[in-house]
């Protein structure tokens, strides 16, 4: 091959290669330009995103800054990684400048830290700010990484200064209200105590006066003094009870008690008032009601007396029935009357404080409107309920439902009157219903009718003839039944008992006093002599006789600073056949009691005396007594609080009597404790359980 061809071939190859290279270059440049264009697009998109993110962060920061809460984040060393403007303002450094610093507000006070269920914790802090002290409620949340490690702590704080101020104001006003309430209760307790003392004198003196020979006018006036005094005493007791309830100081005094005397006692106490209005009062206790229960007998009696007292007060015709039944482990006490009833709209209101049914002034009955409110609270304290079933014109039945705690009973057998055929002839539906219910519950076959014309045919073991029928009707019924009845029992009201002896001669076998006591009813059904109420009623015929204690004459030391009360107490002690010795203060009481020459048998100690009070005197007597001899000391006080009783017993006293002094209670206490000092009768020790401590 020649050289030219070689050169030409090389040139051609070069040219081809060059063209290829140029082509390649052109093509590569285009690709690059395309990539560059694509990159430009991406950059634009990214720029937009960055812009959007910035905008979003701005918006979030704006939001975070705009809300009043303080927000700060710190790393594990406590260095701030984020703070919002509110936090910056609080600390006095801009939020941006705070990042990387370890700064916080000045804390003046801090509440205890509370751990929350979600792992966060919270606490309130009082901090110093340029505008004064503020309270901040902090909540600290741990911020965790993907592996659960706590990397940062986010704290959010809310200004609660206003709330704290409101809470403090509320606490202050509550404390003020409580102390005002306490002061009011103390005031009421003091005032009622102060009123009771002279009232004790009024009632006691009226009693003494009524024991003397009086003209009928004088007796009416003395009765009125006594009646008004008793009304005032009830009023004071209600107000005192109410103040105790308000102050949360009404405590129950639990002890075993017999239910029967409470129910019969309430009926007998209200008997005269009811009979004066021509109302009948009857009681009924279902035989399955346990005889002995554990509870606060005094408070239960108070509730019953209030309900039955209202029933008598508001009822004009018919009568009142007090009944006790059992519903499994509950005791149900009902007081039913045939009075005006209560309008549905008033039913709940009357249980409120100072509420009375009728609001027109002219129709107001006497009373505070506190009785039902107090009763409901007492029953609630006993774990029970007090309700009423009533309608206008249809009478009212108040029901107390109480959980029952049966006390160990002495085992009085549940006496049955199986198949005894009893006829009750009485014009009183109340009396008829109660007697039929009581006799039937004991297994008797009891029938009732309201007069001569309705007497059913047949023979009867016993007929109860109500003296309310009138003398003529009683005689007629007696004649009609003479061949058909084995025994006739006359039912009289206490005021009519003088009629009984004449009727005994006309063939009456026995008699009962209404409201009829269960024991008397059973005795009469068994055909035995007069029951306890009847014996007591027969004894009352000679009421002028002084009340003389059954025990030996004692020397009774009376420590009492109030002259009138001392006079009353001395007279009562004298009437009981004892010799009173009077001292005016505790120190003299202790000296006399411990003086062998005075030979004191028993001390009646007023609790409140100037300088040396009853408690200190009792302690002095106990300290001064040698071994062996223990002088009975009975506390006398106008305060009926359980804690006073406890204080008296703790100071070494033996028993406790409340003023106004009740002479039967005084007689019982002197009899009982007086005998303890005089050697001998085992009866005294046995009976000791009867006087409640
Ligand atoms: P008070 O008897 O002192 O007014 P209570 O709280 O005992 O106060 O009674 C409140 C009101 O309930 C009475 O004023 C009376 O209107 C009404 N109330 C209570 N018992 C009876 C009842 N047995 N029959 C009719 N209304 C009654």
| Ligand 1 atom index nearest CA of 370 | 6
Is residue 239 within 6 Å of ligand 1 at its C-beta?
no
Mutual angle of helices 216-246 and 371-381, in 10-degree steps: 50
Is residue 342 within 6 Å of ligand 1 at its C-beta?
yes
In a domain, 415, yes or no: no
Boundary residue ending a domain (185, 211, 246): 246
Could you tell me the distance, in angstroms and rounded to a whole number, from the CA of residue 360 to the centre of ligand 1? 14
The confidence band for 52, taking pLDDT boundaries of 50, 70 and 90, is confident
Is residue 296 within 6 Å of ligand 1 at its C-beta?
no
pLDDT at site 304: 93
Task: Based on the fold, state whether residues 221 and 114 are members of the same structural domain.
Answer: no
How many structural domains is the chain composed of?
A: 6
pLDDT greater than 60 at residue 691: no
> Domain of 434?
421-537
pLDDT at site 103: 80
Task: Indicate the average pLDDT of the chain.
Answer: 83
In a domain, 542, yes or no: no
pTM: predicted TM-score of the whole model, two decimal places: 0.57
Task: Based on the fold, state whether residues 231 and 338 are members of the same structural domain.
Answer: no
The residue nearest atom 19 of ligand 1, judged by CA position, is 310
In a domain, 531, yes or no: yes
| Residue of 313, 321, 334, 350 to mutate, ligand 1, most atoms within 8 A of C-beta | 350
CB distance 199 to 231 below 8 Å: no
In a domain, 142, yes or no: yes
Task: Based on the fold, state whether residues 322 and 222 are members of the same structural domain.
Answer: no
Around 621, how many Cα atoms within 13 Å sit in the side-chain half-sphere?
A: 36
Q: Are strands 121-129 and 106-110 parallel, antiparallel or unpaired?
A: antiparallel
Task: Based on the fold, state whether residues 268 and 382 are members of the same structural domain.
Answer: yes
| Residue of 231, 304, 313, 314 to mutate, ligand 1, most atoms within 8 A of C-beta | 314
Q: How far apart are CA 660 and CA 186, in angstroms?
A: 21
Boundary residue ending a domain (195, 213, 246): 246
Phi first, then psi: give them for residue 366, nearest 5 degrees.
Answer: -70, 155
What's the DSSP call for residue 365?
P
Q: Residue 289 sits in a domain of what CATH number? A: 3.30.565.10
The residue nearest atom 20 of ligand 1, judged by CA position, is 310
- Looking at residues 449-464, what average pLDDT do you find? 91
Boundary residue ending a domain (246, 267, 289): 246
Task: Based on the fold, state whether residues 678 and 573 are members of the same structural domain.
Answer: yes
Is residue 555 within 6 Å of ligand 1 at its C-beta?
no
State CA 311 to chain mean position distance: 22
Is residue 368 within 6 Å of ligand 1 at its C-beta?
yes
In a domain, 549, yes or no: no
Is residue 566 within 6 Å of ligand 1 at its C-beta?
no
Around 336, how many Cα atoms within 13 Å sit in the side-chain half-sphere?
A: 16
Task: Based on the fold, state whether residues 396 and 261 are members of the same structural domain.
Answer: yes
Around 51, how many Cα atoms within 13 Å sit in the side-chain half-sphere?
A: 6
Q: Residue 450 sits in a domain of what CATH number? A: 3.40.50.2300
Task: Based on the fold, state whether residues 682 and 559 are members of the same structural domain.
Answer: yes
Task: Based on the fold, state whether residues 193 and 61 are members of the same structural domain.
Answer: no
In a domain, 138, yes or no: yes
pLDDT at site 513: 86
The confidence band for 639, taking pLDDT boundaries of 50, 70 and 90, is low
The residues facing 283 across adjacent strands are: 322
The confidence band for 144, taking pLDDT boundaries of 50, 70 and 90, is confident
Is residue 312 within 6 Å of ligand 1 at its C-beta?
no
Is residue 242 within 6 Å of ligand 1 at its C-beta?
no
Is residue 395 within 6 Å of ligand 1 at its C-beta?
no
What pLDDT digit, counting tens, does each position of 302-355 carry?
899 999 999 999 999 999 999 999 998 999 999 999 999 999 888 888 888 766
Could you tell me the distance, in angstroms and rounded to a whole number, from the CA of residue 313 to the centre of ligand 1? 8
3-state secondary structure of 108: strand
Q: How far apart are CA 638 and CA 241, in angstroms?
A: 14
Q: Residue 220 sits in a domain of what CATH number? A: 1.10.287.130
Task: Based on the fold, state whether residues 468 and 479 are members of the same structural domain.
Answer: yes
Is residue 674 within 6 Å of ligand 1 at its C-beta?
no
pLDDT at site 678: 46
The residue nearest atom 8 of ligand 1, judged by CA position, is 369
Could you tell me the distance, in angstroms and rounded to a whole number, from the CA of residue 310 to the centre of ligand 1? 6
Task: Based on the fold, state whether residues 397 and 265 are members of the same structural domain.
Answer: yes
Q: What is the DSSP string of 544-584?
A: TS----SS---EEEEE-S-HHHHHHHHHHHHHTT-EEEEES
Task: Based on the fold, state whether residues 398 and 290 are members of the same structural domain.
Answer: yes
Task: Based on the fold, state whether residues 110 and 132 are members of the same structural domain.
Answer: yes
In the structure, how many helices (H) and strands (E) does the chain have? 19, 24
**What percent of the chain is predicted at pLDDT more than 70?**
89
Q: What is the largest CA-CA distance in the chain?
A: 187
Is residue 318 within 6 Å of ligand 1 at its C-beta?
no
Is residue 372 within 6 Å of ligand 1 at its C-beta?
yes
**What percent of the chain is predicted at pLDDT more than 90?**
30
pLDDT at site 638: 73
In a domain, 320, yes or no: yes
| Ligand 1 atom index nearest CA of 315 | 24
In a domain, 676, yes or no: yes
The confidence band for 401, taking pLDDT boundaries of 50, 70 and 90, is very high
Q: How far apart are CA 334 and CA 396, in angstroms?
A: 10
- For the chain, what's the residue count? 693
The residue nearest atom 17 of ligand 1, judged by CA position, is 357
- Looking at residues 410-437, what average pLDDT do you find? 84
């Amino acid at each position: 091959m020649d050289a030219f061809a070689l050169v030409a071939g090389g040139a051609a190859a070069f040219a081809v290669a060059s063209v290829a290279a140029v082509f390649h270059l052109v093509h590569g440049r285009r690709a690059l330009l395309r990539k560059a264009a694509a990159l430009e697009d991406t950059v634009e998109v990214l720029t937009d995103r960055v812009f959007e993110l910035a905008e979003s962060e701005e918006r979030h920061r704006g939001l975070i800054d705009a809300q009043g809460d303080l927000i700060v984040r710190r790393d594990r060393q406590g260095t701030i990684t984020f703070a919002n403007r509110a936090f910056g303002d609080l600390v006095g450094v801009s939020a941006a400048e705070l990042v990387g610093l370890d700064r916080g507000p000045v804390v003046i006070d801090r509440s205890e830290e509370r751990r929350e269920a979600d792992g966060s914790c919270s606490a309130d802090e009082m901090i110093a700010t340029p505008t004064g002290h503020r309270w901040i409620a902090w909540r600290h949340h741990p911020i965790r990484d993907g592996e659960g490690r706590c990397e940062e702590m986010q704290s959010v704080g809310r200004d609660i200064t206003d709330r704290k101020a409101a809470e403090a104001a509320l606490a202050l006003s509550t404390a003020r209200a409580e102390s005002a309430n306490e002061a009011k209760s103390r005031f009421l307790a003091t005032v009622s105590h102060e009123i009771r003392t002279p009232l004790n004198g009024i009632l006691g003196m009226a009693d003494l006066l009524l024991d003397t020979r009086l003209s009928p006018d004088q007796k009416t006036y003395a009765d009125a003094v006594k009646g008004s005094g008793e009304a005032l005493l009830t009023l004071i007791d209600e107000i005192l009870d109410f103040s105790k309830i308000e102050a949360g100081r009404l405590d129950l005094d639990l002890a075993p008690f017999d239910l029967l005397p409470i129910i019969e006692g309430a009926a007998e106490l209200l008997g005269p008032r009811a009979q004066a209005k021509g109302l009948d009062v009857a009681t009924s206790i279902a035989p399955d009601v346990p005889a002995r229960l554990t509870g606060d007998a005094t408070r239960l009696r108070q509730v019953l007396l209030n309900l039955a007292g209202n029933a008598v007060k508001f009822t004009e015709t018919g009568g009142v029935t007090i009944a006790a039944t059992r519903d499994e482990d509950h005791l149900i006490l009902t007081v039913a009357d045939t009075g005006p009833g209560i309008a549905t709209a008033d039913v709940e209101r009357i249980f409120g404080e100072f509420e009375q049914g009728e609001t027109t002034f002219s129709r107001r009955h006497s009373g505070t409107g506190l009785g039902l409110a107090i009763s409901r609270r007492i029953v609630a304290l006993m774990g029970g309920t007090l309700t009423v079933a009533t309608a206008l014109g249809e009478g009212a039945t108040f029901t107390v439902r109480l959980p029952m705690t049966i006390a160990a009973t002495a085992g009085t057998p549940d006496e049955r009157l199986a198949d005894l055929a009893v006829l009750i002839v009485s014009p009183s539906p109340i009396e008829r219903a109660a007697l039929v219910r009581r006799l039937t519950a004991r297994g008797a076959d009891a029938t009732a009718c309201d007069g001569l014309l309705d007497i059913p045919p047949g023979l009867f073991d016993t007929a109860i003839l109500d003296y309310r029928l009138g003398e003529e009707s009683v005689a007629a019924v007696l004649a009609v039944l003479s061949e058909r009845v084995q025994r006739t029992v006359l039912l009289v009201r206490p005021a009519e008992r003088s009629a009984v002896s004449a009727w005994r001669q006309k063939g009456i076998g026995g008699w009962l006093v209404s409201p009829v006591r269960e024991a008397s009813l059973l005795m009469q059904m068994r055909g035995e002599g007069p029951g306890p109420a009847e014996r007591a009623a027969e004894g009352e015929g000679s009421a002028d006789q002084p009340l003389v204690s059954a025990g030996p004459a004692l020397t009774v030391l009376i420590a009492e600073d109030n002259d009138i009360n001392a006079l009353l107490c001395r007279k009562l002690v004298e009437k009981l056949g004892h010799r009173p010795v009077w001292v005016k203060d505790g120190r003299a009481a202790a000296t006399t009691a411990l003086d062998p020459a005075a030979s004191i048998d028993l001390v009646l100690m007023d609790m409140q005396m100037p300088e040396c009070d009853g408690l200190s005197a009792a302690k002095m007597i106990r300290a001064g007594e040698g071994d062996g001899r223990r002088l009975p000391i009975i506390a006398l006080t106008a305060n009926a609080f359980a804690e006073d009783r406890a204080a008296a017993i703790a100071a070494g006293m033996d028993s406790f009597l409340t003023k106004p002094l009740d002479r039967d209670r005084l007689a019982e206490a002197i009899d009982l404790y007086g005998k303890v000092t005089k050697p001998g009768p085992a009866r005294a020790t046995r009976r000791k359980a009867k006087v409640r401590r």
